[in-house]
Structure 1
Amino acid sequence: MAIEILQLLVQSADSWLFEGSLSGLSDREWMALRYLARANRFSRTPSALAGFLGTTRSAASQIAAVLQSKGLMVRKPVAEDKRSIALCLTGAGERFLEHDPMNALRDRLVALDVTDRSQLRDTLRRVLGGLDVAKRRHHADVCTGCVFLIERGEGKDRHFRCQFFRKAIAQKDTTLLCAYFEGRS
């Protein structure tokens, strides 16, 4: 059964790994665009993008340059540190994601029963988490499962803080990807 599951995962990869380009972007450029759309404000840097893509900072900067040349992304100075650059999607970039080749797979997952989706997510998270531990690598994930996220208060007084960056974080941003994620064990 493990071989069958592995084969099914490989078949699903056809929606995001491909030769050449789709809609003018390579699979790596699509991956970068998706990441930037889901990354929190701390994780939209060239270094974080390189870490997510598993490539060098130079290669990630080249991918970002392609996205910028197509008007899908812009580089902005970070308000707290003028030496740092944030990679931000443009409105055109957000609209471009409506044609993401991975949307067909997403739609099939959305069609699943909520219980099945939750079970699939949790199972894949455990499998991939085990691979990360075995390879001693970090991965981006959402803040809600991170040891650095501190939640205080209730109702209107509920607020969140990232202890890694020592900054407040909006509740809506706790569901975004963070390249500095450390899972709770």
Structure 2
Amino acid sequence: MSLAIEIVQLLIQSADSWLFEGSRSGLSDREWMALRFLARANRFSRTPTALASFLGTTRSAASQIAAVLQSKGLMVRKPSAEDKRSISLCLTSEGERFLERDPINALRDQLVALELPDQSRLRDTLRRVLDGLDVAQRRHRSDVCSECMFLIESGEGKDRRFKCRLFRKSLAQKDTALLCAYFEGRD
């Protein structure tokens, strides 16, 4: 049990990179989380509802966070290409440049310095821990399309194709590395 407590304490200390009081570079930690999510979200997940789900908050609170990002020129609201009744939350080029000052980059740089096998083990271990927490707390998490049960792959080489069964839409290979709020893990 003492090893588990030590790991929890280390995770809490590392969380200082992305959970903080006040603001850093003019954004609160929740606004940074929203900006990061929108930068990595697939086209189906750039909605106020998906953002609220990712942040674990109400749609109203997520819309307020999006309004702050929009007022700072970091994001814009656009009519959805998929459903004209809804909107997409899209980063501006200023928002993409702003992410270069993300406080979490220091943690990312430390992880990049690890050997690749250590990075893979840490990722896989944290995924298992998060899966257990999600089940225990009955919540749903976002993850990358390439790990989702809805992703269908066909063909090989240049003829390789990807499709989301849930949305019945084609995906570019690069989109399979993006976050999806509708993710369902493979069993």
TM-score band, normalised by shorter chain: over 0.9
2:165 corresponds in structure 1 to 163
Tell me what 1:109 maps to.
111
Counterpart residue identity of residue 70, structure 1: K
1:2 alignment partner in structure 2: 4
Structure 1 distance, partners of 2:186, 2:39, is 24
Say whether 1:13 aligns with 2:18: no
Residue 128 (structure 1) aligned with residue 150 (structure 2) = no
Q: Give the whole-Å Cα distance in 1 for the aligned partners of 2:168 and 2:135.
A: 26
Counting matched residue pairs gives: 185
Give the Cα separation in 1 of the matches to 2:105 and 2:145: 24
By how many angstroms is 1:136 displaced?
Answer: 2.1
Secondary structure of 2:125's counterpart equals helix
Choose the corresponding residue for 1:67, options 54, 66, 69.
69
Displaced runs of 4+ in structure 1, greater than 2 A? none
Counterpart in the other structure of 2:42: 40
**2:63 & 2:53 partners in 1: Cα distance?**
12
Q: Which amino acid aligns with 1:41?
A: R
Q: Which amino acid aligns with 1:76?
A: K
AA aligned to 1:24 is G
Structure 2, unmatched stretches of 5+, are none
- 2:100 matches 1:98: yes
Rounded Cα–Cα distance in structure 2 between residues aligned with 1:85 and 1:31: 20
Alignment RMSD (CA, Å): 0.6
Cα offset, 1:134, TM superposition: 1.6
Q: Distance in 2 between matches of 1:110 and 1:140?
A: 22
**1:119 pairs with 118, 121, 131, which one?**
121
Q: Report deviation, 1:67.
A: 0.1
Rounded to whole Å, the distance in 2 between the matches of 1:80 and 1:130 is 33
TM-score (norm 2): 0.98
Match for residue 183 of structure 1? 185
User: 1:47-86 counterparts in 2 under 5 A?
Assistant: 47-86=49-88
Structure 1 unpaired stretches of 5+: none
Query: Aligned-pair distance for 1:80?
Result: 3.0
User: Equivalents in 2 of 1:147, 1:37: separation in Å?
Assistant: 23
Whole-Å separation in 1 of the counterparts to 2:67 and 2:137? 30
Identity of aligned residues (%): 81
Q: Which moved more, 1:175-184 or 1:75-84?
A: 75-84
CA offsets per residue over residues 51-79 of structure 1, 9 Å max, x none?
A: 00000000000000000000000000012
User: Residue type of the partner of 2:15?
Assistant: A
Distance, in Å, in 1 between the alignment partners of 2:81 and 2:116 is: 40
